[in-house]
Structure 1
């Protein structure tokens, strides 16, 4: 499923949030009338009074959202920051004045939005870790990469990829994530070789995040899309394939007996 990136990386103006409900994944969230509260910090308001420059304003906002799905109607809490920009209005003939446009950036949502939809076939330990990363996406993007890295470790655990090796001196050691991903590429006669490359790409992002470096939301969304593909291939497609093989085997037994 392709992610609508504008919803996650841009600012919103007015009530145009365009995020899906975290509970039903069907309805669109909308601001509940009369719940949107926004205030400027005192210092920024004082600066604006002195300079007359509205771009000085440092705005904080808080609001309640409601799902548009009549069978759901879940309530979501959202908060964040805002700014004001002055726009000049003119026609071909004359200058018509200025208008102020307020835009807002989300820093907190509860319950967190499902950035990718995770199948019920995915083990709960992996699902919980990824959903934990969703709650951090808005305000703490650097921590998201760390959670995604943890999810990779859990995926390898579920596929029984070994976590220890033996060094040249014959001593057991704990394998790095990189080494484990390399081992993952060898299982099932190399069937996961392409997925191994995808896992390594996400691993590098996780490494950078673990060292506390700034993470761009665009890069995190790339990681989520790759992770979505990996989860589908390993836990959904594999199970479907197993079911199809079993049905094929049953058909073979039934019709061979008839002949």
Structure 2
């Protein structure tokens, strides 16, 4: 960390002039210039954090709590291995960046990464007739196979693919919600989807065992986004 600067936001300054102002309205932006301490890297970057004032109470002193809202270059949530398909790798890196600034857009990128994963696994993405000719829409474009049907086809390809089905399906549901009700996208669930994607990629391309924690991660996403699995909050084992 090379330098940092805090400033009160314009909206906060304006609210401070109103009669109804109270301490909890205070907001700040913290800008931090960073530099990697690794001698082989020395990458520079910028981080912006949003701060909210928490007034003094019986349990704690007055304090401003900061939350990251922008990081460039964004830290990798997981290592993108060279053996991963190029399209999937690019979408993962884009998702890492969007996670901090737009969770809904990040959810869409994760879903898109699943689509590209299925492409690499040879799962058909357009509807064809018996002769293999693509069926066209009224506008003349090839009709896509739904992600739901593609995942079901992927599930039949082998033991690992079958084990990954529920995990990838949970990402499908979160991605659908991110597209249609983006303001309600839960940032923690998006992070969980990245963790799920990491485990799936490692299982398929690195031959690693799917972790025992996967079932909880999937259930944690499904309880908010899968319409048939929202009955009870999952318990972590």
TM-score clears 0.5: yes
Instruction: Choose the corresponding residue for 2:62, options 94, 100, 107.
Output: 100
| Superposed CA offset, 1:96-133 (max 9, x none) | xx843111111111011101222111122111111101
Cα offset, 1:43, TM superposition: 4.0
Correspondent of 1:130 among 73, 81, 92: 92
Question: Quick one: distance in 2 between partners of 1:116 and 1:171?
Answer: 37
CA gap 1:52/1:147 in 2 versus in 1, 3 angstroms: closer
Structure with greater proportional strand content? 1
Q: What is the number of residues matched between the two proteins?
A: 197
Q: Cα distance 1:187–1:54, how it changes in 2: closer, same or farther (>3 A)?
A: same
- Give yes or no for contact 2:160–2:204 (8 Å, CA) kept in 1: no
**In structure 2, the residue corresponding to 1:79 is in which secondary structure?**
strand
Q: Which runs of 5+ in 2 are unaligned?
A: 136-142, 209-237
Superposed, 1:13-28 pairs within 5 Å as: none
Q: Which ranges in structure 1 are unaligned for 5 or more consecutive residues?
A: 1-30, 91-97, 239-259
Instruction: State the match for 1:192 in structure 2.
Output: 161
- Give matches, 1:25-44, under 5 Å: 31-32=1-2, 35-44=3-12
Task: For 2:14 and 2:117, locate their aligned partners in 1 and report how far apart those are by CA, in whole Å.
Answer: 52
Pick the structure with greater CA Rg.
Answer: 1
Q: Does 1:177 align with 2:147?
A: yes
Matched, 1:235 2:205: yes
Q: Trace 1:141-160 onto structure 2 (pairs within 5 A).
A: 141-160=103-122
Task: Identify the range of structure 1 (138-147 vs 191-200) with the bigger mean alpha-carbon deviation.
Answer: 191-200
Q: Tell me, in whole angstroms, the C-alpha distance in 2 between the residues paired with 1:51 and 1:200.
A: 48
Match of 1:210 in 2: 179
Measured in 2, the distance between the counterparts of 1:114 and 1:231 equals: 15
Distance in structure 2 (CA, Å) of the matches to 1:154 and 1:161: 10
Determine helix, strand or coil for the equivalent of 2:7.
strand
Establish whether residue 79 from structure 1 lines up as the match of residue 48 from structure 2. yes
TM-aligned CA distance change 1:46 to 1:208, over 3 Å: closer
Task: Give the Å deviation of 1:184.
Answer: 0.6
Q: Distance in 2 between matches of 1:226 and 1:43?
A: 38
User: Structure 1 residue 167: deviation in Å?
Assistant: 7.5
Return the TM-score normalized by structure 1.
Answer: 0.68
Question: Which whole-Å CA distance do the structure 1 matches of 2:22 and 2:45 have between them?
Answer: 34
Distance across 1 between alignment mates of 2:38 and 2:56: 36
CA distance, structure 1, for counterparts of residue 98 and residue 77 of structure 2: 11
Q: TM (normalized to structure 2)?
A: 0.74
Q: CA 1:89/1:205 → structure 2, altered by over 3 Å: closer, same or farther? A: closer
